[in-house]
């Protein structure tokens, strides 16, 4: 029987082994990079690094994507479930604090199988699912008991922005339901004795230039809904990619110090205690990892 893919909210309903859907990759796992990664929040990266596995392809396709080559599935290597499990074990052996699965939405069944297999072979570190937030609740349910912590984005409050920049008008509603499911599964944020995340949810909000109002609306919703049971990571690292200003002139610059400070002040005024704030120096292209098939 044909397996028609409806894993994510794009609901393509196609056989990925014969044709490609929005995510632009077949059902065979393809990864662009697997290596220790040092640029996540301190409770994820620490000094040893996070064991990041970057999956090729993406169902969202934001116009400002920093990793376009991989999100369009152009770079990467196809691997088996067994190889994926061995990659996790190898990262654990290298001293990774956790396994950080980056944009795995379109490979959830393979993630489930590979984590089970790796755990049988001795994988014991925290599994983090790092996502755009554009996820179906039914698919996330497959990850219950597999993933310990979630690291979703909440990119837009305004559906017209979601349509304009990610071609997904339903993003705000989808992300709200997805984050609710993540919090249900992973509970309040817990750290181990060394200060590294063990379980829970950290929601990332990337401030876009000129869009402080949208960021504030996301932050207000998250705090009113979850209080300090989740952490909110306020990100200022938006980096305009070449050519973006041709079609989207408003996105052709970095976020100003003043814009970022406005968002931080808003979060503090709300009373948020559990937040990560970014050093603006990270808004440099050099902090975007090279995707060189380092697997
Ligand atoms: S995972 Fe890919 S093929 Fe499946 S519904 Fe989403 S975008 Fe479409």
| Residue ranges of domains in the chain, CATH in brackets | 4-287 (3.20.20.70)
DSSP 3-state assignment of 32?
A: strand
How many angstroms separate the alpha carbon of residue 49 from the centre of ligand 1?
Answer: 30
Averaged over 86-102, what is the pLDDT? 97
287 has a pLDDT exceeding 80: no
Q: Is the CB of 174 under 6 A from ligand 1?
A: no
Atom of ligand 1 at shortest range from CA of 25: 2
Atom of ligand 1 at shortest range from CA of 59: 7
Whole-number Å distance between alpha carbons of 223 and 272:
7
pLDDT tens digits, one per residue of 6-58: 999 999 999 999 999 999 999 999 999 999 998 888 899 988 899 999 999 99
Model pTM?
0.93
Q: Whose CA is nearest to atom 3 of ligand 1?
A: 21
Give whole-number Cα distances, 246 to 64, 133, 240, 251, 283, in Å.
Answer: 12, 27, 11, 9, 21
Q: Is the CB of 8 under 6 A from ligand 1?
A: yes
Q: Which residues face 51 on adjacent strands?
A: 36, 99
Beta carbons of 241 and 65 less than 8 angstroms apart:
yes
Where residue 122 falls (left for φ over 0; alpha for ψ -120 to 50; beta otherwise) is left
Q: Which residues contact 119 (CB under 8 A, 6 or more apart)?
A: none
How many angstroms separate the alpha carbon of residue 93 from the centre of ligand 1?
Answer: 33
């Amino acid at each position: 029987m044909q397996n028609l893919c409806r894993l994510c909210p794009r609901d393509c309903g196609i056989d990925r082994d014969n044709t490609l859907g929005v995510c632009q990759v077949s059902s065979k796992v393809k990864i662009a990079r697997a290596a220790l990664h040092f640029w996540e929040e301190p409770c994820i990266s620490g000094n040893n690094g996070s064991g990041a596995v970057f999956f090729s392809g993406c169902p969202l396709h934001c116009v400002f994507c920093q990793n376009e080559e991989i999100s369009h599935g152009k770079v990467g290597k196809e691997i088996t479930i067994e190889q994926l499990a061995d990659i996790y074990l190898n990262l654990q052996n290298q001293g990774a604090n956790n396994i950080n699965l980056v944009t795995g939405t379109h490979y959830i069944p393979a993630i489930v199988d590979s984590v089970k297999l790796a755990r049988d072979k001795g994988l014991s570190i925290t599994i983090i699912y790092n996502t755009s937030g554009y996820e179906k609740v039914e698919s996330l349910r497959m990850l219950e008991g597999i993933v310990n912590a979630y690291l979703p984005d909440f990119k837009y409050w305004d559906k017209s922005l979601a349509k304009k920049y990610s071609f997904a008008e339903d993003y705000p509603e989808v992300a709200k339901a997805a984050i609710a499911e993540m919090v249900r599964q992973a509970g309040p944020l817990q750290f181990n004795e060394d200060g590294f995340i063990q379980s829970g949810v950290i929601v990332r909000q990337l401030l876009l230039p000129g869009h402080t109002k949208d960021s504030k609306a996301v932050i207000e919703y998250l705090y009113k809904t979850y209080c300090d049971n989740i952490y909110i990571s306020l990100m200022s690292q938006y980096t305009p990619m070449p050519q973006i200003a041709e079609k989207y002139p408003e996105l052709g610059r970095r976020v100003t110090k003043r814009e970022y400070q406005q968002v931080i002040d808003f979060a503090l005024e709300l009373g948020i205690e559990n937040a990560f704030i970014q050093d603006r120096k990270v808004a440099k292209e050099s902090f975007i990892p090279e995707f060189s098939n380092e697997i």
